[in-house]
A and B are shown apart, each in its own frame.
Chain A
Amino acid sequence: MDESKNIIHETRIPTLAENTGLFKKTKMRAQRTNRRYALLFLGPSILLLAVFIFYPMLKTIYLSLFLTNGSGHNTVFAGLGNYAALLSSPGYLASLMSTLIYVVGVWALTLALGLILANAASVKVRASSFFRTIFSSTMGVSISVSAIFWLFIFNPSIGILNQIAAFLHLPLLNWATDPNLAMISVIISTVWMNLGFAFLVLFSAFQSLPLSLYEETAIEGVGPVYRFFHVTIPLISPTLFFVSIITFIEAFKSFGLIDLMTAGGPNNATNLLVYHIYQNAFLNGNYSQASAESVILTIIIALLTFLQFRYLERKVSY
Chain B
Amino acid sequence: MTSHRSISRFLILISVSFLVTAGLPFTACRFAQAANPKRIKIVFWNEMTGPAQAQLTQFVQKFNHSQSKYEVESHFQGSYEEAVQKILNTHGSNASPALFQSADISVSQLYHSGYITKIQKFIDQDKQFNINKISPVARSFYSQKGQLLGMPFNSSQPVLYYNASLLKKYKITPPPLDPTYADVTRVATQLYQRSGKKVKGMTMEVYGWLFDQLVANSGHYSVNNENGRIATPSKATFINPGSIAAMKWVQDNIKKGNFINYGSGGNASANEIAAFLSGKLGIFMESSAEIGQLTLGMKNQKLGVSYYPHQTGKKANGVAIGGAALWIGNDKPAAVQQGAWTFIKYLESAQNQADWQKATGYLALNRDAKKTKTLQKLYQQNPALKVPSDQLARTVANNANSGIFVEGIVQERIILNTALDQIYSRSNIHTTLQQAEKAMNTYISNNNRANGWSN
Q: Which residues on B sit within 8 Å (CB–CB) of A177?
A: 262-263, 267-268, 271
Residue-wise interface mask of A (248-267) relative to B, using a CB-CB cutoff of 8 A (1 in contact, 0 not): 00000000000000110111
Is A238 part of the binding interface, using a Cβ–Cβ cutoff of 8 Å? Answer: no
Q: Which of A60-76 contact B (CB under 8 A)?
A: 66-72, 74-76
Q: Are A266 and B264 in contact (CB under 8 A)?
A: yes
- Which residue of B113, B115, B417 contacts A267 across the interface (Cβ within 8 Å)? B417
Q: Do A267 and B88 touch across chains, with their CB atoms under 8 A apart?
A: no
Contacts A75-B451, A76-B452 given: A284-B267 contact, CB under 8 Å? no
Q: A283–B81 contact, CB under 8 A?
A: yes
* A79 close to chain B: CB less than 8 A: no
Q: Name the residue of chain A whose CB is nearest to the CB of B422.
A: A267
Asked whether, in the complex, the Cβ of A265 is within 8 Å of the Cβ of B418, the reply is no
Q: Max chain B CB contacts within 10 Å: which of A67, A157, A179, A283? A: A283
Residues of B with C-beta under 8 A to A267: 206, 263-265, 417-418, 421
Q: Smallest Cβ distance from B208 to chain A, in angstroms?
A: 12
Binds A, one of B31-39, B211-219, B289-297, B406-414: B406-414
Cα A180 to Cα B173 with chains together (Å): 37
In Å, the complex CA distance between A265 and B262 comes to 12
Say whether A6 faces chain B, with CB atoms less than 8 Å apart. no
Counting CB contacts under 8 A, is A52 at the interface?
no
Docked CA distance A204–B268 (Å): 45
- One of A36-44, A83-91, A113-121 at the interface: A83-91
A156 to B270, CA, bound (A): 11
Q: Report the minimal beta-carbon distance from B190 to chain A, rounded to whole angstroms.
A: 27
Q: Which residues of A contact B266 (CB under 8 A)?
A: 263, 265
Is A174 in contact with chain B by the CB < 8 A criterion? Answer: yes
* Min CB–CB distance B171 → chain A (angstroms): 30
Across chains A and B, the number of contacting residue pairs, with CB separation under 8 Å, is: 105
Nearest CB of B to A244, in Å: 33
- Pick the residue among B81, B268, B435, B439 that contacts A266 (CB under 8 A): B268
A91 & B418 in contact (Cβ 8 Å cutoff): yes
- Chain A residues contacting B262 (CB-CB under 8 Å) are 177
Q: Which residues of B, 106-162, contact A by the 8 Å Cβ criterion? A: 108-109, 112-115
With A91-B414, A157-B274, A177-B271 already in contact, the answer to whether A69 and B263 are too (CB < 8 A) is no
How many residues from A make CB contacts under 8 Å with B? 34
Complex contact B85–A72 (CB within 8 A) = yes
A135-175: which have CB < 8 Å to B? 156-157, 174
A284 is contacted by which of B264, B411, B442 (Cβ under 8 Å)?
Answer: B411
Is A229 part of the binding interface, using a Cβ–Cβ cutoff of 8 Å?
Answer: no
Q: Which residues of A contact B265 (CB under 8 A)?
A: 262-263, 265-267
A78 to B445, CA, bound (A): 12
Complex contacts, A284 vs chain B, CB 8 Å: 81, 408, 410-411
Considering the complex, give the chain B residue whose CB is closest to the CB of A157.
B274
A122 within 8 A of B: no
Q: Report yes or no: B263 in contact with A89, Cβ–Cβ below 8 A.
A: no
Q: Tell me the complex Cα distance, A68–B418, Å.
A: 24
A220 to B262, CA, bound (A): 61
Q: Closest B residue to A85 by CB, please name it.
A: B442
| Given contacts A69-B450, A76-B449, A85-B442, A265 and B112 within 8 Å (CB-CB) | no
Q: Which residue from B82, B109, B417, B418 sits with its C-beta under 8 Å from A70?
A: B109
* Contact (Cβ within 8 A) A283 B268: no
Nearest-CB distance from A29 to chain B (Å)? 36
Report which residue of A70, A81, A156, A178 has the largest number of chain B beta carbons within 10 angstroms of its beta carbon.
Answer: A70
Find out whether the CB atom of A90 lies under 8 angstroms from the CB atom of B435. yes
> Which residues does chain A contribute within 8 Å of B112, judged by CB atoms?
69-71
Nearest B residue to A174, CB-CB: B271
- Hey, which chain B residues are within 8 Å of A90, CB to CB? 418, 435, 439
* A193-237 to B contact mask, C-beta < 8 Å, 1/0: 000000000000000000000000000000000000000000000
A75-B452, A263-B266 known; A91 vs B109 contact (CB < 8 Å) = no
The B interface, classified by DSSP as helix, strand, loop or mixed, is helix
Interface residues of A in 73-107 (CB under 8 A from B): 74-76, 78, 81, 85, 89-91
B residues 386-439 with Cβ under 8 Å of A?
407-408, 410-411, 414-415, 417-418, 421, 435, 439
Let me know if A71 and B267 touch, CB within 8 A.
no
Which positions 19-75 of chain A face chain B at CB distance < 8 Å?
Answer: 66-72, 74-75
Chain B residue contacts of A70, Cβ below 8 A: 108-109, 112-113, 407-408, 447, 450-451
Contact, CB under 8 Å: B452 / A285:
no
> Are B263 and A283 closer than 8 Å at their CB atoms?
no
| B8 at interface, CB cutoff 8 A | no
Q: Which of A71, A72, A156 is the one whose CB lies under 8 Å from B271?
A: A156
Q: How far is the CB of A309 from chain B (nearest CB, A)?
A: 37
Q: Are B447 and A69 in contact (CB under 8 A)?
A: yes
Is A176 positioned at the interface, with any CB of B under 8 Å from its CB? Answer: yes
Q: How far is the CA of A177 from the CA of B264 in the complex (A)?
A: 9
**CB of B61 within 8 A of chain A?**
no
A264 to chain B: closest residue by CB: B265
Q: A76-B452, A91-B418, A179-B263 are in contact. Are A285 and B206 (CB under 8 A)?
A: no
Interface residues of A in 263-279 (CB under 8 A from B): 263, 265-268
Q: Does A311 contact B (CB under 8 A)?
A: no
Within 8 Å of chain B (Cβ to Cβ): is A282? yes
Minimum CB distance partner of B274 in chain A: A157
B15 at the interface (CB under 8 A from A): no
How far, in angstroms, from A177 to B82 measured CA to CA in the complex? 24
Complex interface residues of chain B between 373 and 388 (CB less than 8 A to chain A): none
Interface hub of A72, A75, A263 (most chain B Cβ within 10 A): A72
Complex contact A71–B418 (CB within 8 A): no
Name the contact of B115 in the complex, choosing from A71, A174, A286 (C-beta under 8 A). A71
The CA of A267 and the CA of B207, in the complex, are separated in Å by: 10
Give per-residue flags for B281-306: 1 if the beta carbon is below 8 A from chain A beta carbons, else 0.
00000000000000000000000000
Which chain B residue lies CB-closest to A75? B450
What A residues does B263 contact at CB under 8 A?
177-179, 265-267
Binding site for A on B (CB under 8 A): 79, 81-82, 84-85, 88-89, 108-109, 112-115, 206, 262-268, 271, 274, 407-408, 410-411, 414-415, 417-418, 421, 435, 439, 442, 446-447, 449-452
Additional A-B contacts beyond A177-B271, A285-B85 (19; CB < 8 A): A67-B447, A67-B449, A69-B407, A69-B447, A69-B450, A69-B452, A70-B109, A71-B113, A71-B115, A91-B415, A177-B263, A262-B265, A265-B267, A265-B268, A266-B264, A267-B263, A267-B264, A283-B79, A283-B82
A-B contact pairs, 28 of them (CB 8 A): A67-B449, A69-B112, A69-B452, A70-B109, A70-B407, A70-B408, A70-B447, A71-B109, A71-B113, A71-B114, A78-B446, A91-B415, A157-B274, A179-B263, A179-B421, A265-B263, A265-B265, A265-B267, A266-B265, A267-B206, A267-B418, A282-B81, A282-B82, A283-B79, A283-B81, A283-B85, A284-B81, A285-B88
